[in-house]
Amino acid sequence: MAIIVQKFGGTSIADAEKIRRAAKRVIRAVKKGYQVVVVASARGKQTDQLIADALELNPNPPRREMDQLLSTGEQQTVSLFAMALDAVDYDAISFTGGQIRMLTDGVYTNAKIKSIDAERIHKQLDKGKIVIVAGFQGIDENENITTLGRGGSDTTAVALAVALGAEECEIYTDVDGIHTTDPRMFKNAAKIEEISYDEILELASLGAGVIHTRAVGFGKKYDVKMHIRSSSEEKEGTIITHEVPQMEGVVVSGATVQKDMAKIGLVGVDNVPGNAAKIFACLANAKVVVNDIVQTEVSAQKANLSFMIGASDLPAAKKAVEGIKDEVNCERIFVRDDIAELSVVGVGMRTHYGVADKMFSALANAKVNIDSITTSEIRISCIVNKDEAGKALEAVCLAFELDKPAEERGRGS
């Protein structure tokens, strides 16, 4: 019997009515002949509330205790979900991450999955039960509860789909799929019907916020078909799948703005072997995740180095670079936290020219200044002033016609 994993995000199960509606989706899949595994997030804003509760008591709560606390949000949902199914005579059983031995490393609040005991789930499915698993959580080898990082239930769902050999992983959410950009920032953003893992990885890690990046990483590695769709509407959503040749016809698939970022620059570092290594060793020690590193030699003696980080890592990163400043003979450190990163992404960039020109011209016409530019094979990103981000995004979306469905933007041209 084919297995399907259905993941419900917090807004799709926020109250009793919505849990009932989600349960109906599950029942429909059962009626189609699937064995169904449900992955549920915490209800509504519950995780935010738990974080606020923690911070009220301790501005810097121990991470282990944080995970112990946050995991309870999902634990509540799964039992409620099982009760809702029982109420309409469907046999369901709920599990925490620990109960299905969702084994992770020991990095509290951002743990990575190592293995899952699929047997326990298969046994229940074979008994005819619907299995409901708490998203976002696991246990480490010492039985401590861990969580996978905000939005981590998506990753639980895809990891389960892999472990169980599921046919598809459906991700139910409060939007009808993935759009070319965030519709709250650009209201005419078009819905995307099909997109590749690589594009979504770039868009998600750039702050598109639709799906947990690590979930897509898993999806890509094991080729899991992922379907992001609305929990309130029937229509098809967005399929995330491996790249197919037609996808290259679309030059830009989506655009994003990431606002919670900061940039640190080290001006006039001694231009000698080992300095970059020293600086990034300090940042690694401080557990700071670094993006978009740029180093330029300004003379035979000196180099400038800058990099981007998440805004929440700024205090730790600042402390780290201040600690190494004298050792690398850095003249000055500068920090910007008033920036946003605007990016366009598309596998079609590999084969089309003029993409950078179009983006920079759109920004120039909108009179938006570009601080720095970085690129990958399928992405161009510009750092702009945070207060100009909305205007910049709109200009770029219009330039690449992201208000139109992909076919109308000249697929195959």
Site track 113-142 with ligand ASP (rule: CB under 6 A), x = hit: ----------------------xx------
Which part of the chain contacts ligand ASP (CB under 6 A), choosing from 110-118, 144-152, 338-346, 393-401? 144-152
**Angle subtended by helix axes 118-126 and 153-164, to nearest 10:** 70
Residue 151 lies near Mg ion (rule: CB under 5 A): yes
Dihedral over alpha carbons 405, 406, 411, 413 (to 10 degrees):
80
Label the pairing between strands 3-8 and 35-40: parallel
Ranges within 153-212 binding ligand ASP (CB under 6 A): 153-154
Among ligand ASP, Mg ion, none, residue 73 binds (CB under 5-8 Å by kind): ligand ASP
**Angle subtended by helix axes 46-57 and 63-87, to nearest 10:** 150
Could you give the CA distance from residue 79 to residue 229 in angstroms, rounded to a whole number? 23
Closest separation between CB of residue 379 and ligand ASP, Å? 25
Tokens 């690449």 -> residue: 400
The residue from 151, 177, 237, 254 that contacts ligand ASP (CB under 6 A) is: 151
Could you give the CA distance from residue 23 to residue 18 in angstroms, rounded to a whole number? 8
Among ligand ASP, Mg ion, none, residue 248 binds (CB under 5-8 Å by kind): none
Angle at 352 (CA atoms; ends 351, 353), nearest 5 degrees: 130
Residue 13 lies near ligand ASP (rule: CB under 6 A): no
Ranges within 294-333 binding ligand ASP (CB under 6 A): none
- The Cα-based distances of 292 to 263, 307, 320, 345 in angstroms read 10, 5, 18, 16
Note whether 117 and 100 are within 8 A (CB).
Answer: yes
Site track 55-74 with ligand ASP (rule: CB under 6 A), x = hit: ------------------x-
Closest separation between CB of residue 173 and ligand ASP, Å? 10
Count other Cβ atoms within 10 Å, centred on residue 332.
10
Nearer to Mg ion, 124 or 238 (CB): 238
Residue 150 lies near ligand ASP (rule: CB under 6 A): yes
324: its two tokens: 């190494």
Nearer to ligand ASP, 35 or 41 (CB): 41
The residue from 47, 180, 253, 275 that contacts ligand ASP (CB under 6 A) is: 47
Residues lying near Mg ion in the complex (CB under 5 A) are found at 9, 151
Residues lying near ligand ASP in the complex (CB under 6 A) are found at 9-10, 41-42, 47, 73, 135-136, 150-154
